[in-house]
Amino acid sequence: MQKLTLIDTHTGGEPTRVLFDMTLPKEIVTVSQRRDWLREQADWIRCSILHEPRGSESMVGAMVGPPANARNQLSVVFFNNTGYLGMCGHGLLGVIEAMRYREGWTTGSYVVETVAGDVRVVLHDDRTASFENVRSDCYRTGVSVEITNGESTRETVTGDIAYGGNWFFLTPVEQVNFAELESLTCRSLRIRDALQREGITGRDGAQIDHIELYAPLDDSASAERGGRNFVLCPGGHYDRSPCGTGTSAKLACLAAEGTLAPGEAWIQESVVGSRFVGTYQRDGDGVRATITGRAHVMAETVCIFDPEDPYRFGIAHCTATSES
């Protein structure tokens, strides 16, 4: 029986499954080539470890491998239940904690190659980690779409479009509470559908596949600057973490507004209450965001693929294969 070895982590409540020891063809060198090989030749890996019955919609996968540049330390391909990601902030923190646990990475600086670009990571003595993300920017502000609430009530929603390693539409709401998950999810889905219906995209036609609803921190008396967010991910589930690429997109918007200074700390709190701390430095018209958070190792998992199991590659994958 074929087996795959995983390290299961979570970052602020959002799980990452880190895949080690994959043998790829020798001609596959760059992280983009690894992504393409997985997508075109071995998508069963993504489906089998993230789809039911072995996985769940909230999981992100990360395949680690050697870097193309010998001066760097690692390459990572991120993927979720619907496809492949250029970058994933909570997933990167999960990978770093898995490397600390499995490979003995110690306090210091590392460079990780992602499809979106090289990302510098610093491991701290307190087991938190910081990463300087790829360049983020606020692409458009004051973008409006019309959504339908119920059968006849229509509402205009206005927000900003920003890039933080993935594309986001960010718009305010009165509050972000865990008890309101269903309504927050429905609102986000309606916004995403409206963006697609009206042909509103990121730069060069990039699909806006993340919706970020934001509200003030609950503790209005606190001196900390920050906010709470609800992030709808491409697969239709919500991010349990504050979302690393979403926090980067938020910092890019704050920088464009002139409401947060370079180097000033911003607390980003998720809908479940977990937190990242973000700062930024200017990078041309955009920013370089640095995000600090902590991941935890939960399990060492060996996936077993029983050839007699009709759903060994995931229910969605096997169903689609049988129907085709």
Residue among 47, 138, 233, 243 flagged as catalytic: 243
How are beta strands 153-163 and 167-172 bridged, if at all?
antiparallel
User: Can you point out the beta strands (E) in the chain?
Assistant: 2-11, 14-19, 60-65, 74-79, 84-85, 108-114, 117-123, 129-132, 137-149, 153-163, 167-172, 210-216, 226-232, 266-269, 275-283, 286-293, 295-305
Q: How many CA atoms lie within 13 A of 19 on its CB side?
A: 21
Calpha distance 185→236 (Å, rounded): 8
Q: Which are the contacts of 77, defined by CB distance < 8 A and separation ≥ 6? A: 31, 34, 35, 38, 62, 63, 65, 84, 114, 115
**φ and ψ at 180, to 5 degrees?**
-105, 25
User: Residue 36, SS3?
Assistant: helix
State the chain's maximal CA–CA distance in angstroms. 60
Q: Which are the contacts of 323, defined by CB distance < 8 A and separation ≥ 6? A: none
- Residue 253 appears among annotated catalytic residues: no
Q: Give me the amino acid identity at 289.
A: A
| Contact (Cβ atoms closer than 8 angstroms) between residue 245 and residue 133 | yes
Calpha distance 269→274 (Å, rounded): 6
- Residue 88 appears among annotated catalytic residues: yes
How are beta strands 210-216 and 167-172 bridged, if at all?
parallel
Q: Which two tokens stand for residue 282?
A: 């200017």
State the CB neighbour count (10 A cutoff) for residue 146. 12
Residue among 88, 233, 303, 318 flagged as catalytic: 88
Counting other chains too, the contacts that 148-153 makes at CB distance below 8 Å and 24 or more residues apart are 148/190, 149/190
Calpha distance 123→159 (Å, rounded): 35
Catalytic residue list: 88, 243
